[in-house]
Amino acid sequence: MRQLVILAVVFAFIAAAPAIITSEFTQNVIIMVLYAALLGQAWNILGGYGGQFSFGHAAYFGTGAYTVAVLQVQLGVNPWIGLVIGALFSMAVAAFIGFATFRYGLRGSYFALVTLAFAEVLRILSNSVGFTGAGVGILIPLAPGAANMQFETKTGFFFLIWVLTLSSFLVVWWIGHSRFGASLAAVRDNEDAARALGVNAFRVKMGAIMLSGLFSGLAGIFYAQYFLYLDPYIAYGPAISVESLLVPIIGGMGTLFGPLLGAAALHVVSEATRELIGDVPGISLALYGALLVVMVMFMPRGLAGLLARLGVRRRAASGEMPRA
């Protein structure tokens, strides 16, 4: 309950931002942080809560993004309908990859490599078929208006991503307080012990990967509508997969607020590097790699873990004062 209250307060606070902050630049920063938090929270469901480290979340992101774009461009389907279809497609791709990997008991680095391979296959496919615009990419024609999910102001996009991100956080809150979440954590911590207690590990992992794919797909759909351009490298490339996992790893895997902390921190770090070094090609991937190593080595529990530790220390300190 306490977590839900904090969640409500944090998101209410964020919702007030567009009314206070009128600068388009700053509004864009908040939008991109919320978007990264959604991407990270999606990965966190499967990786953080389920312990299944995917290196190929671009598979779901790209499927969502391409679905909404291709439906609009090739078939003239409204993006709001495209959002529903895209989310379902992302989930279906996740179900397929989940089935193919969990059925055969792939774990650890095998699972990671196979998910990476699936994302790469999709990238190559989208690069070679015509209806995705192949290597040239696909441009969603400009048609401003909320009805076309192309808001005329940043505020419109802000509330779209606010709703999507909040919904992912609510689902993760529920995971932390449900039988599904307890089973998922049990499978993560010891699959054999979980199964001995009646947990259907396969079904639980399938549920996690499908939820994960759903939210990753929603992030992709948002991306497509916000930037109106996709190519195979943007949609299915490794950068999205790495960003998906880096956000919760920085923020704290398996925690509700980790992805939000991680998204904000990652944004600050990337902006700072851009200021210092400039737009060198490939610099962001190099930076991500370095961050990943640092986090895994020195802060395995992420920023959320650090905050928790500081909280404990402060409480311990104030507890000692009367005695001193």
Note the residues at the interface with another protein (CB under 8 A): 177-179, 182-183, 185-186, 189-190, 192-201
Q: Which is nearer to another protein, 47 or 56 (CB)?
A: 47
CA within 13 Å, CB half, 104: 8
Cβ of residue 94: shortest distance to another protein, in angstroms?
Answer: 22
Q: Are 241 and 116 in contact (CB under 8 A)?
A: yes
Q: Are 62 and 69 in contact (CB under 8 A)?
A: no
- Minimum CB separation of residue 170 from another protein in Å reads 16
Which residues are within 8 A (CB) of 173 and not within 5 positions of it... i.e. 6 or more apart?
3, 4, 7, 256
User: For another protein, which is the closer residue by CB, 59 or 185?
Assistant: 185
Which of 57, 232, 220, 216 has its CA nearest to residue 138? Answer: 232
Task: Tell me how far, at minimum, the Cβ of 166 lies from another protein, in Å.
Answer: 22
67 near 230, Cβ under 8 Å?
no
User: Which of residues 177 and 314 has its CB atom nearest to another protein in the complex?
Assistant: 177
CB of 198 to another protein, least distance (A): 4
For the record, the structure tokens of 240 come out as: 């999205």
Nearest distance from C-beta of residue 322 to another protein, angstroms: 23
User: Token digits for 99?
Assistant: 């089935």
Nearer to another protein by C-beta: 179 or 323?
179
Q: What ranges make up the beta strands (E) of 117-161?
A: 138-139
Can you tell me the distance from the alpha carbon of 106 to that of 104, in angstroms, rounded to the nearest whole number? 6
Supply the minimum distance, in Å, between the C-beta of residue 201 and another protein. 7
- Close Cβ partners of 264 (under 8 Å, ≥ 6 residues apart): 33, 37
